[in-house]
Structure 1
C-alpha cells in the first residue's frame, strides 16, 4: 500500500481522543510485523489506550532520530461535513477525512516509507513513535518517554509530524488544563441565606482567571515571536445548577493556560489555586482541583544541528514559532532536541471536510526517505 491507501485504512478507524485506540495500534503493529519490524506496546493507565514504539536499525546505537505521530483525532461532530468523516474521500487532489491532516497523514507517510527504510544500511537507527490522546493535552506521550531509555540509545533528535507545510517549527507555547469543582449548599432561592450558591463562588474563580489574563496582557513577560506575545488564561467550560429557583449546590469549571517558553504553565495556575483555597477556608465551599493535562513549551535554538538537518531534508527554511502546542516540548524536556515538521496546513484541522493533498503526502514521504539517507 502507498501512503494514500494507508491513510484510507487509518481514517476508517475512528480513534477519537479519549476512547480506545486499540484498533489503530493493532493495524500499525500488524503493518510493521508483516515487514519484520518488531514493536513495543506501552500501555497507558486508562487500560484501553496504548503507545507503540519501533526501531529500524540497531536500537543500541546512539544518535538516531525519532519520527513521532499521534493516533487520536478530534470528534467529527460538525454538521457541515459533506461526506462520512471516517471514510476517506478523494476530491481532485484533496483527500478528505477526519485526521487526514491532523495527523494521520504523517503517520501514513511514516508507514509508507518503512520499505525504503529497510532497504538502506542505516548506520544510525530510525525510531517510530505512535502516541495516544495528544488531542487531550498530550496524555499518552509521557508514558512513552518514560520508557524510552529502555527502548533505545539516546536519539540525536525528534521530528513531530504535526501539519506545518513541511517547514520546521522550533518554538511553541506550553499548556495546562484544569477542572475546578465547587460544592456549596442547596436550598430554595427564596431563602438564599440558608444555602451556599456554588455558581456565585465560582464567579470569584472566573474573576481571578480574567484578572490574571489581563495582567499578563499588560505586564508580560513577552515574547514577540508569538501571537499573542504573552501567556494566556481562559475559562472555557462551566456547568452548574438545576433550576432557576434552586440554589445551585455544585458548579464545575474547565480552564486552560498557555505559557510562552521559559514559563511553567503550572506556575501561572498558582493565583487561581490560591483563590480556590480561600473560598474553601473563608467561604465555606468545598473545592476540588483536577489537573487534566500539562505539557511544556518548545524552545529550540536556531543553531541546533537538528534545525539545519530539517531545513536540508525539507528544502525549506524553518517557520520559527506557532501558536498551537505539540508533543515536541515533552521530547525536549526529556533531553531530545525536537522540531515540529509535517505535511499539510494546521488551518484545515479540527474542522469539517478536513483534508490533505496527495502531493503533500508525496512530499512528506520523500523528506522522510532523505532523512534515512543521512543515516547511512
Structure 2
C-alpha cells in the first residue's frame, strides 16, 4: 500500500460517518488494510453488538511489553445547524482542517497510522500497539471488550497513551463516570380523576429531589483540588414523560450521571437515587433501573515512568488532571499505567466546525516516532 501522510489519512477517516452507536465495518476495514500494508500484525475483534468492532495492530515483537496507543473510531453526531461545510468531508481553510472527529479523535488515529511506516523501519526491541475502539462516545462501551482480549494479543503493555485532544500535553488524571436511566410506569387516565391514575411524572419528582439533594451533598466534599470542580458531581441530564395536559402520564424516564474524583466509585454515587426508586414500588408504580455506562477515574503518579517519558517526548510537564473522562481509567483498572496525550483541543469537540491544525498533527506524528526510537534495541 502507498504510504500516506497524516493529512491524507485524516481525510479518509473523516469521510467515514462512524457515528457512535452505528455499524463501523467500513472504517475498520480501511484501517485494517492500511495497517497490514505497512507491516502491522492486525486483529479485528467483533463486539457483542454484532455490527461493530475494535481493532488492534502491532509493530514489533508482541511478546514483550511495549507502548499502547489508544483511540476511538466513533464520533458524535454532526446534526448541528452551525456547520459551514459537510462535516464528513475534510475541508482545509486558513490553516485549519475542518470535519467531525478531526480533534476528537480521528486526528490521533491518523497520526498513529501515518507513523507506522517509520516504526516498521526501526529495530524495535519493544512493540508499539494501536488499540482503536468503538462507541467511546457512549461511555467507553467498546474498549472493555478489547482490554479483555489483550492477554491473547500481546504481552501486558508497560504504558498506554490515550490520544484524546490535550494540546499534545500529557494529563495524569481524570474523573470517573457512571450514567443510568430511570423508568417509572404508573397508570393512565383522565386528568379530572387523578384518584384513578398513578402520575409517573409526579413520582419522578421524588427521584429528582433525591438527585438534587445528593448533588448538594457531593459539593461539600471530599475534594481533590486538581479538578474543576474539586468534588464529585451528579446531575439529571434528560427527562421525558407525558402526552397531553389532560392525560395522567403513565410513563416518565430520566437519564442521570455521576462524575467521581479518584478514589470514589462513580456508580456508588447513584445508589441514593436507586434506593429512592425502589420506594415507589410500594406505592404501586413499576420501576426500572439501567446502568448505561461506567468507567473509573484515572490517577497516575507524577513520578511514574510513563509520566516522565511523556514529559520528555513532549517537552512539557504533564498536567495533573482534567474533569472529562476517557478509557484511560479502564486501562489502569486492568493493571496498566495510562496517561492522556493527543493533538487538538477538547474545546473544539462536539460542536460545529470542529477542526485541527496541520502543525498539531505533524507534532503528534513526530512524538509517536520519537516514542518508537525509545523502544529500539
Alignment TM-score > 0.5, same fold: yes
Partner residue in 1 for 2:345: 345
Count of equivalent residues: 373
CA distance in 2, matches of 1:46, 1:235: 27
Indicate which of 131, 134, 137 corresponds to 2:133. 131
CA distance in 2, matches of 1:298, 1:35: 33
Indicate which of 11, 34, 37 corresponds to 1:8. 11
CA distance in 1, matches of 2:47, 2:266: 23
Deviation (angstroms), 1:358: 0.3
CA distance in 1, matches of 2:74, 2:100: 10
Secondary structure at the residue paired with 2:332?
A: helix
CA distance in 2, matches of 1:16, 1:115: 28
Partner residue in 1 for 2:245: 244
CA distance in 2, matches of 1:114, 1:96: 24
Partner residue in 1 for 2:49: 46
Partner residue in 2 for 1:319: 319
CA distance in 2, matches of 1:285, 1:121: 66
CA distance in 1, matches of 2:47, 2:184: 29
Partner residue in 1 for 2:72: 70
CA distance in 2, matches of 1:330, 1:29: 24
Deviation (angstroms), 1:35: 2.1
- 1:57 equivalent in alignment to 2:57: no
Secondary structure at the residue paired with 1:323?
A: coil
Secondary structure at the residue paired with 1:324?
A: coil
Deviation (angstroms), 1:346: 0.6
Matches within 5 A, 1:288-327: 288-327=288-327
Indicate which of 177, 180, 190 corresponds to 2:179. 177
Partner residue in 1 for 2:201: 199
Deviation (angstroms), 1:315: 1.0
CA distance in 2, matches of 1:214, 1:263: 16
* 8 A Cα contact 2:39 2:120, kept in partner: no
- 1:263 equivalent in alignment to 2:264: yes
Gaps of 5+ in 2: none
* 8 A Cα contact 2:343 2:361, kept in partner: yes
CA distance in 2, matches of 1:261, 1:283: 38
Partner residue in 1 for 2:369: 369
Secondary structure at the residue paired with 1:102?
A: helix
- 1:113 equivalent in alignment to 2:101: no
CA distance in 2, matches of 1:356, 1:157: 26
CA distance in 1, matches of 2:48, 2:207: 31
Partner residue in 2 for 1:234: 235
Deviation (angstroms), 1:10: 0.4
CA distance in 1, matches of 2:208, 2:298: 28
What per-residue deviation string (whole Å, max 9, x for no partner) do you get for residues 196-223 of structure 1? 00011111111111100001112x1111
Secondary structure at the residue paired with 2:48?
A: coil
CA distance in 1, matches of 2:116, 2:355: 23
CA distance in 2, matches of 1:27, 1:66: 20
TM-score after normalising by structure 1: 0.98
Deviation (angstroms), 1:92: 1.9
Deviation (angstroms), 1:273: 0.6
Bigger mean CA deviation after superposition, 39-48 or 334-343: 39-48
Deviation (angstroms), 1:34: 1.7
Indicate which of 206, 212, 215 corresponds to 1:213. 215
* 8 A Cα contact 2:39 2:59, kept in partner: no
Deviation (angstroms), 1:37: 1.9
Indicate which of 23, 27, 32 corresponds to 1:24. 27
Gaps of 5+ in 1: none
Deviation (angstroms), 1:49: 1.1
Deviation (angstroms), 1:77: 1.2
CA distance in 1, matches of 2:214, 2:283: 21
CA distance in 2, matches of 1:199, 1:233: 20
TM-score after normalising by structure 2: 0.98
Partner residue in 1 for 2:224: 223
